[in-house]
C-alpha cells in the first residue's frame, strides 16, 4: 500500500546542512495503524510530511497505492493529497469559520456542489460526535472537540490514508483515549491506513498494529506491536517501553521498604498476551510452596492484548527452586528479572 524507498530530506543553509530524514525504507500494509515514535528532534514530523509531499524529499521515492508521488503532475498531486489526508497537533482550524464551515472547506476547494457538500459535512460532524455544535466557532470548543472537527475535515474527501502528526499530544488523557477510540472505529469502518507520529507510548500501545522507532533521522527499529513490547532491541526502544511500564518508585527505594533475608528474592515478572490471564501468584505458592508478597503491579491494555509487570517478594526460596521456577515461568512466556536477593 505505502512504500518509502531510500528517503532523504536535507535542509541547507549557507552555514550548514541538516539531515532531518536519513535513508529511510518503510513498507506499510493497507488497513494498518502504523506508529512512528521518537524523542523531539528525531525527524518524525518531517517524515510524515514527506508522505503527501507537503515536504519534498531531497532523494528517494514515496509510492502510495502503486503511484510514485514524486512523478505526479501538480494537478495529480493535488488529487492524490485528497486521498492522503492529515490531522495536526494544533488542529489547524479556520478560527473565523464555524464547525460546519471548517468541514465544508475542503469540499469547496474540491468543487463539490453546495447541497451535496453540506449533506456530507453534516454527516461527518455527527459521525465524530459533534451534532448540535455545527454553528460553534473553534474558540467555543474544547481541545478534544477541535480535534474531532479536524478529523471530520480530514475525512471529507474519503481518504485512503490518514496521517496524524502528534494528533493527541495537546489533549488530556481521557480526551486522548476518546480520540484514539474514534480513530480505531473509523479505521474499522472505512479500512483506513493510519500513520501516527507520536512521542507518547500510550498512543502506540493503545491502537497501533506496528511501530517504528526513529532517532536522528533514521529508523532504528521496526516491529509488530506485541514483539516490540516483549523484546525491544534498541536502547531507545527499551527506554520507551521501560518508561511506559516502570514501577512507581525506584527499585532501591522499594528494596529498602522490604526486609530481604538471605534466602529471599525481589523479582519482577514481565508478561504480555495470554500470560496475563494466568493465576501466576497462585501457581507459585501452590506448586513451589513459596510465600509471596505482592509489592506492585502495572497492567496496561494494547490493541494486541495486555502487557505489564508484577513485582514480587519471594520468601525462603532456594537457588535450585528458583531456577526451576524461572524455567517454568519462561515456558508460560513470563520473563523473570531479579531485582535484589539476600
- DSSP per position, 84-102: EEEEETT----TTS-HHHH
pLDDT band for position 269 (cuts 50, 70, 90): confident
**Polymer length of the chain:** 342
- Per-residue confidence (pLDDT) for residue 55, from 0 to 100: 92
pLDDT band for position 342 (cuts 50, 70, 90): low
pLDDT > 90 in the chain, percent: 55
Mean pLDDT in residue range 159-170: 92
Digit-coded pLDDT (tens) for 24-33: 999 999 999 9
Digit-coded pLDDT (tens) for 37-83: 999 889 999 999 999 999 999 999 999 988 999 999 988 988 888 89
- Per-residue confidence (pLDDT) for residue 90, from 0 to 100: 85
Residue 310 has pLDDT above 70, yes or no: yes
| This prediction's pTM | 0.80
pLDDT band for position 5 (cuts 50, 70, 90): very high
Residue 3 has pLDDT above 60, yes or no: yes
Q: Are 196 and 32 in contact (CB under 8 A)?
A: no
pLDDT > 70 in the chain, percent: 94
Q: What does pLDDT average to over the chain?
A: 89
Looking at per-residue pLDDT, the higher value among 262 and 314 belongs to: 314
Give the least confident one: 6-10, 82-86, 189-193, 296-300: 296-300
Mean pLDDT in residue range 152-176: 92
Q: Give the C-alpha separation, 160 to 238, whole Å.
A: 32
Helical spans, DSSP H, in the chain: 44-51, 74-83, 99-109, 114-127, 143-154, 173-190, 201-207, 225-230, 235-245, 251-256, 280-288, 319-331
- Per-residue confidence (pLDDT) for residue 254, from 0 to 100: 60
The Cα-based distances of 71 to 48, 159, 173, 337 in angstroms read 19, 20, 41, 52
pLDDT band for position 112 (cuts 50, 70, 90): very high
Q: Give the C-alpha separation, 311 to 313, whole Å.
A: 7
Q: Which CATH architecture has domain 253-341?
A: 2-Layer Sandwich (3.30)
- Per-residue confidence (pLDDT) for residue 256, from 0 to 100: 64
Q: What is the dotted CATH code of the domain comprising 2-243?
A: 3.40.50.300
pLDDT band for position 243 (cuts 50, 70, 90): confident
User: Which of 242-281 are b and which e, b meaning 16 or more Cβ less than 10 Å from the residue's Cβ?
Assistant: eebbebeeeeeebbeeeebeeebbbbbbbbbeebbeeebb
Q: Which residues contact 136 (CB under 8 A, 6 or more apart)?
A: 98, 99
Residue 277 has pLDDT above 70, yes or no: no
**CA angle in degrees (0–180, nearest 5) for 287-308-298:** 95
Residue 273 has pLDDT above 80, yes or no: no
Domain boundaries, the chain: 2-243, 253-341
Mean pLDDT in residue range 176-183: 93
**CA angle in degrees (0–180, nearest 5) for 211-213-216:** 155
Amino acid at each position: 500500500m505505502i512504500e518509502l524507498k531510500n528517503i532523504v530530506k536535507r535542509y541547507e543553509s549557507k552555514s550548514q546542512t541538516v539531515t532531518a530524514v536519513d535513508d529511510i525504507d518503510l513498507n506499510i500494509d493497507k488497513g494498518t495503524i502504523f506508529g512512528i515514535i521518537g524523542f523531539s528532534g528525531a525527524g518524525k514530523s518531517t517524515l510524515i510530511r514527506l508522505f503527501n509531499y507537503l515536504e519534498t524529499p531531497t532523494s528517494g521515492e514515496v509510492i502510495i497505492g502503486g503511484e510514485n508521488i514524486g512523478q505526479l503532475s501538480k494537478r495529480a498531486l493535488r488529487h492524490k493529497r485528497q486521498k492522503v489526508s492529515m490531522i495536526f497537533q494544533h488542529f489547524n482550524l479556520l478560527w473565523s469559520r464555524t464547525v460546519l464551515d471548517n468541514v465544508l472547506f475542503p469540499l469547496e476547494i474540491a468543487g463539490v456542489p453546495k447541497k451535496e457538500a453540506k449533506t456530507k459535512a453534516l454527516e461527518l460532524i455527527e459521525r465524530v460526535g459533534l451534532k448540535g455544535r455545527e454553528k460553534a466557532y473553534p474558540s467555543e470548543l474544547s481541545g478534544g472537540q477541535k480535534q474531532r472537527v479536524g478529523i471530520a475535515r480530514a475525512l471529507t474527501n474519503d481518504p485512503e490514508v490518514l496521517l496524524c502528526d502528534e494528533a493527541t499530544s495537546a489533549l488530556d488523557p481521557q480526551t486522548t483515549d476518546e480520540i484514539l477510540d474514534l480513530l480505531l472505529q473509523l479505521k474499522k469502518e472505512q479500512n483506513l491506513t493510519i500513520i501516527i507520529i507520536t512521542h507518547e507510548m500510550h498512543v502506540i500501545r493503545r491502537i497501533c498494529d506496528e511501530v517504528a522507532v526513529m532517532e536522528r533521522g533514521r529508523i532504528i527499529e521496526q516491529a509488530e506491536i506485541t514483539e516490540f513490547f516483549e523484546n525491544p532491541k534498541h536502547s531507545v526502544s527499551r527506554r520507551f517501553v521501560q518508561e511506559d511500564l516502570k514501577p512507581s518508585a525506584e527499585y532501591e527505594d522499594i528494596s529498602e521498604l522490604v526486609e530481604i533475608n538471605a534466602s529471599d528474592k525481589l523479582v519482577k515478572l514481565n508478561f504480555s498476551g495470554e500470560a496475563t490471564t494466568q493465576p501466576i501468584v497462585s501457581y507459585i505458592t501452590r506448586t513451589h510452596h513459596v510465600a509471596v508478597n505482592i509489592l506492585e503491579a502495572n497492567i496496561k491494555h494494547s490493541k494486541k492484548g495486555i502487557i505489564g509487570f508484577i513485582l514480587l517478594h519471594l520468601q525462603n526460596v532456594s537457588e535450585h527452586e528458583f531456577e526451576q521456577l524461572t524455567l517454568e515461568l519462561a515456558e508460560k512466556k513470563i520473563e523473570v528479572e531479579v531485582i535484589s536477593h539476600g
